[in-house]
Structure 1
């Protein structure tokens, strides 16, 4: 896992899915993203908005990324999938 910061892709990165926990305060906001450059898959969990902390995990496939993103969201209600 890497600390938050710019991702280093060799190709254009696409956010495939993005969820938000619905908290409008910077401190309580949480986001989970699935991203790909067409070859690599990553899941990012971000806490505290754009200036907060994040955790990034590489995944071997889209399926693995989807499972990890679900685990990082947990069973809490209120998560919303945001449009791309």
Structure 2
């Protein structure tokens, strides 16, 4: 799987949150990660790119000042 989109909330401490959209060309998934690489994460499969981007937007929410990486 390759990363198509990656957003980060800008916090490098325990409140760090990342959202990834990944694909292998056929399947799509969105991962929400809390607490950096050693923290918790949730992965959701999506039927296509559009639905993956909609889910990523929902998981980011309006609370943080997100940066696209």
TM-score, structure 2 as length reference: 0.97
Give the number of equivalent residue pairs: 69
Name the structure 1 match of 2:4. 16
- State the Cα deviation string for residues 22-61 of structure 1 (Å, max 9, x = none): 0011x11000000000000000000000000000000000
Runs of 4+ in 1 over 3 A off after TM superposition: none
SS class of match (2:37): helix
Q: 1:76 deviation in Å? A: 2.1
CA distance in 2, matches of 1:34, 1:47: 15
TM-score by length of 1: 0.80
Task: Tell me how far 1:77 sits from its aligned partner.
Answer: 3.7
Match of 1:4 in 2: none
Give 1:47's match in structure 2, choosing from 34, 39, 59.
34
Question: Which is greater in Rg?
Answer: 1
Identify unmatched segments of 5+ residues in structure 2. Answer: none
User: Counterparts of 1:2-81 in structure 2 under 5 Å?
Assistant: 13-25=1-13, 27-81=14-68
